[in-house]
Every structure is written in structure tokens, then in C-alpha cells.
Amino acid sequence: MSLLLKIAFRNILRNRRRSAMTGSAIAVGALAMLVFGAFTTYLFASFQTNLVQRIGHLTVFQKGFFLFGSGNPTAYGIDRYQDVMDLIAGDPVLKPLINVVTPTQSVVGIAGNFEGENDAAKTFIGVGVVPADRDRMRQWNEFGAGRVWPADTRFDAVDPSVGLIGGGIARILGLCAPLKIANCPSPPASATRALVAANAPADPEIGDLVRRDVAVDNPGAVGTMPRLDLLSATANGAPNVVSLRVAGLDPQGIKELDDNYVAMQLGLAQQLVYGRGEHKATGIVIQLKRSEDLRPARARLTALLQQHKLDLEVHDFAELTPFYTQVLGLFGSIFLFIAVIMGVIVLFAVVNTMTMNVMERTNEIGTVRAMGVRRRGIRRQFVVEGAMLGMIGATLGLVLAVIVAAVVNHAGLTWNPPASVNFIPLRLELFGRPALIIGTWLGLVLVATIAALIPANRAAKLPVVDALRHV
């Protein structure tokens, strides 16, 4: 065996330039796959962190909410949600796995800025949350790949009407100036007002009737916080309105969401949606300590709910954000594509190199065959050479990848991932997934070995006499 390796290694060294070329091609292939793979690993970790910070790992809904609830959240409140939360938080299997359990309420309605001269209204899609739980959830950072948020002091526990809105909806409602938003143009004059004859006299009677009552009953803006009216129909179909004091922006990465987003405290959302009825919650969000526990936690949770005959369903963050699974799939496909291309390049390079080697050593092949080496011994010799070339190239590629990763990680680069508004550090997680390194290394060595098989077979099949005749 060691003779095999000895000859293989020395032949690689003998054709220094040719081996260097082929080895470099393999190394570059390995480098490309490893760097892209490391980037992808990091991307998933940071994307997942972002999601888990915002929507936790698992959410419990009323049955049917996931498929039908977004148009009509009021119909899908969870009865006695506090009891369900206690049940989940107290379960001996789930308790050690859970980081946060918190209720949320989805709201849809119309947000209006009717203060003073303003006359802007916009449909909104909002959520009511518990600010303290939201802060805790935003601390989650299992992979060290996300941004860690300090407690959001804008949500004031003392004033339950304080909330945040998206950048787009703030702009549409004409809150650029009050919220001091940069790069924010004011909305054009109201179209409906334009329809009114500009010169027609205002009916003083109406103005008088308005002034009698409204100033007394309507709360105005307090301090510097602008106020919005949130209108919605309750679960019983009654019109309802609450005041939201806007403390600032919570910009969303996707424009459609950013143009509609309102975040308020849970109590306010419940007041708006349920009014005089029983206050429920549309979702119970569960954030685990570690993502690895997702599957067992989900299984236990589903069993627990079934056990208590509760009409509830469980979804994880990937189901709630199809974009996540799609991005994972996309990057997986791209990686596969790169791997295949690199594999093909390595294949051609090694076939070419080994074919030349065989051709040059035809006489040598004849000689050792005459001396008693079997056909399979010849084949083995060249296959080992190909494999060895692959191993050297792949290892070199790995070393290069480690260097590149170290350089990038210490360069302090940042980037803005898609569907996000924040810049996060750009890192290459090379050692996050051992399967990546092992898979790439083994894969390329395998390709090189298979590539060498073709010329090796040809060498083995050479008739001894003809081989010896070769110069």
C-alpha cells in the first residue's frame, strides 16, 4: 500500500506545474463552495435570529386562523387565553425549553390623522403586544448572528395608548414633521377636499354644531407625541375607535408591511377589537431558548392541546414566513449549482491531467505489467494519484477558505439583508456547519477519484506488448 502512495505522491511532485494547475483548480472549487456555504450558513442564522426575535419559534392560534384569519382576525380570538398560557408555561416538559410565552392580538382597521387641518386616513394591519415580553424576545441571540436590541423605552407601560407605526404609514398619514422623520415628503392635498368647490362658502351652522361638542370630548395631542384615531369594527360588528399616541417608528423591511404596520400595546388592541365583549388574544407566541428544541417542543405542545381538547393549532416561524423557507431553498439550490459546476470543472481538469500522466508513463506501465503487476494494480495506481491530487487541492482550498473567512470576519463589514431595515455585521460562518467542510472536501476528492478512473481504466486495459513498444 505504501508503495502505491509513494509512487502516487512522487509522480504528483514530478509534474510540478501540471499538478499545481490541477490542484489549484480543485482548491478554487473548494474555496468557492466553502466561502459561499459559510456565507449561507451565516445568512440563515441571522435571518432565523431576526424572525425568532420578532415572532418567536411557535405560535398557537385558534383553528382556522392561519388560513382564514388575516381578513377577519376578530373572529379568531382564543377563549380564556390566559389559562392556555398558564397551561403551556407550567407544563413540565415545555417549561425548561421556553424562554418567553406572550399573547398577541391582530387588528385590522382604519388609522386616521384628523388632528387640526389633517385629514388623512389609511387602512392598517396591526398587532397588540406586551412590551416587556417584546423586549425579552429581542434579546434572543443563540447563534450570535443577529442584532441584540436594548429595551425599547418608547413603549410606555404607564400610558397604555402609546404605540409605534411603520415608516410608510407614518408618511401617508402626514406624520413626517411631528415624528421628525428624515427623507419623508408630505402627502399631497386631500383628493376629497379638492372635489369640494373651492370658493363655496362654508355652512356656519355645521361648524357651530361641531364646535359645541367635539373639542370637549376628543383628546388632543399630548406633549410632542402625535395622536392617531384607530377605527375598527368589533367582533360583534359595532364601530369602535381608540386613540393611539405615536411614540415613534418601527420600520418594516417589506414595503407592503411598512405601509400598513401599527404596533400597540395588547390592552389597546383588545379594547379596539373586542370592545364590551370578552377580551381574547388571536395568538400565543412561544420563543424557545434554543432552536434545536423546536421539533420536540412543537410535538409536546400539539399533544398537550389535544389532550385538553382545545380547538387550537400550532405553527412555527417557517410556516408563518414562507419567505424564509423560500430563501433557504433558493440558497440551497444556488449552492448545489455552484457545487455541480465546480465538480464538473474539477472532473475535466483531473481527467485531462491523468490522461496526460498515463500517456507519458505508457512505457512504465508496460514495464511494471511485465514485471507482474495486475491490471487492477495499474488502475489502482492512477486512481490513487487522482484521489491524492483531489485531497491536496481540497485541503489547500480549505486552508484558503479559513484565511478568507478570518479576513472577512475581522474586516468589520456590514450589510443590509433583504426584507430588513437594519445593517448587521457580515460574517462567514465556516465552522458553524461541519457538514459543509466535510461534504465539500469529500465531494471534491470523490469527483477527482472518479475522474481519474477513466484514464486509469484505459491504462489498465493497455496490452503489455503495445505499452512496451511505446517510447
Partner 1 sequence: MRITRIAALLALVFVATSAEAQTAQEIIAASDQVRNPSQPFRSTDTLTEYIGGKPRDQDVLAVYSKIDPATQQYRNLIRYVAPPRDQGKMVLLDGKSLWFYDPNSKASVRISPQQRLIGQASIADVLTVNFAIDYTGKLLGDETIQDPQHQNRQCWHLDMKAANEQTSYNRVEYWVEHGTNYPIKAKFYSDSGRLLKILYYDGFEQRLGRVRPSKAIIVDAVDTSLATIVTFGDVTPQEIPEAWFQRDYLPRLQAQ
Partner 2 sequence: MSGGTPAPAVRLSEVTKTYQSGAVEVAALRGISLAIPVRSFAMVVGPSGSGKTTLLNLVGCIDKPSTGTVEVCGQRIGELSDNALADFRARTIGFVFQNFNLVPVLSAYENVEYPLLLIGMPAAQRCERTLAMLDAVGLSKQGRQRPNELSGGQKQRVAIARALVKEPGLVLADEPTANLDSETGASIIELMHKVQSRFHTTFVFSTHDPHLMSHADAIFTIRDGQLVDHQEEAAQ
- Which residues contribute to the site for partner 1 (CB under 8 A)? 108-110, 112, 114, 119, 121, 192-193, 195-197, 200-207, 209-210, 212-214, 217-218, 229, 231-234, 236-243, 271-272, 274-277
Q: Rule CB under 8 A: choose which of 373, 396, 400, 419 binds partner 2.
A: 373
Instruction: Say which residue the cell 425568532 belongs to.
Output: 52
* Cβ(243)–Cβ(219) below 8 Å: yes
Instruction: Say which residue the cell 448587521 belongs to.
Output: 424
Find the part of the chain contacting partner 2 (CB under 8 A) among 9-17, 144-152, 187-195, 386-394.
9-17
In the complex, least distance from residue 385 CB atom to partner 2, rounded to whole angstroms: 11
In the complex, least distance from residue 319 CB atom to partner 1, rounded to whole angstroms: 26
* Cβ(170)–Cβ(182) below 8 Å: no
192 contact partners, CB below 8 Å, separation of at least 6: 119
Instruction: Say which residue the cell 506501465 belongs to.
Output: 365
In the complex, least distance from residue 370 CB atom to partner 2, rounded to whole angstroms: 5
In the complex, least distance from residue 459 CB atom to partner 2, rounded to whole angstroms: 15
Q: What is 97-123 written as a DSSP string?
A: GEEEEEEEEEEEEEEEE-STT--EEEE
CA distance 336 to 340: 6
Q: What would the grid cell of residue 451 be?
A: 475522474
* Cβ(62)–Cβ(73) below 8 Å: no
Nearer to partner 2, 252 or 357 (CB): 357
In the complex, least distance from residue 377 CB atom to partner 2, rounded to whole angstroms: 8
Among positions 312-371, residues that touch partner 2 (CB under 8 A) are 363-364, 366-371
112 binds, among partner 2, partner 1, none (CB under 5 to 8 A by kind): partner 1
Nearer to partner 1, 121 or 448 (CB): 121
In the complex, least distance from residue 61 CB atom to partner 1, rounded to whole angstroms: 20
Find the part of the chain contacting partner 2 (CB under 8 A) among 3-11, 75-83, 186-194, 243-251.
3-11
How many other β-carbons are positioned within 10 Å of the β-carbon of residue 301?
23
In the complex, least distance from residue 391 CB atom to partner 2, rounded to whole angstroms: 19
The vertex-101 CA angle with 100 and 102, nearest 5°, equals 115
How many other β-carbons are positioned within 10 Å of the β-carbon of residue 414?
10
371 binds, among partner 2, partner 1, none (CB under 5 to 8 A by kind): partner 2
* Helix (H) or strand (E) segment spanning residue 248: strand 239-249
446 binds, among partner 1, partner 2, none (CB under 5 to 8 A by kind): none
Q: Closest Cα to residue 60, out of 284, 321, 307, 298?
A: 284
317 binds, among partner 1, partner 2, none (CB under 5 to 8 A by kind): none
Nearer to partner 1, 169 or 285 (CB): 169
Q: Give alpha helix (H) positions in 218-254.
A: none
Nearer to partner 1, 73 or 397 (CB): 73
Residues in the interface with partner 2 (CB under 8 A) total 22
Among positions 412-471, residues that touch partner 2 (CB under 8 A) are 463-465, 468
Q: Closest Cα to residue 87, out of 249, 308, 289?
A: 308
CA distance 380 to 368: 13
Nearer to partner 2, 226 or 366 (CB): 366
Nearer to partner 1, 192 or 224 (CB): 192
CA distance 24 to 350: 11
108 binds, among partner 2, partner 1, none (CB under 5 to 8 A by kind): partner 1
Strand partners of residue 240: 232
465 binds, among partner 1, partner 2, none (CB under 5 to 8 A by kind): partner 2
* Cβ(343)–Cβ(444) below 8 Å: yes
Q: Rule CB under 8 A: choose which of 374, 406, 416, 431 binds partner 2.
A: 374
Nearer to partner 1, 210 or 435 (CB): 210
DSSP-derived pairing of the beta strands 120-129 and 239-249: unpaired
454 binds, among partner 2, partner 1, none (CB under 5 to 8 A by kind): none
Find the part of the chain contacting partner 2 (CB under 8 A) among 81-89, 223-231, 337-345, 373-381.
373-381
In the complex, least distance from residue 111 CB atom to partner 1, rounded to whole angstroms: 11
* Cβ(71)–Cβ(106) below 8 Å: no
Tell me, what DSSP letter sits at residue 415? E
The distance from CA 305 to its chain's CA centroid, rounded to whole angstroms, is 28
Q: Which residues bind partner 2 (CB under 8 A)?
A: 3, 6-7, 10-11, 14, 363-364, 366-375, 463-465, 468
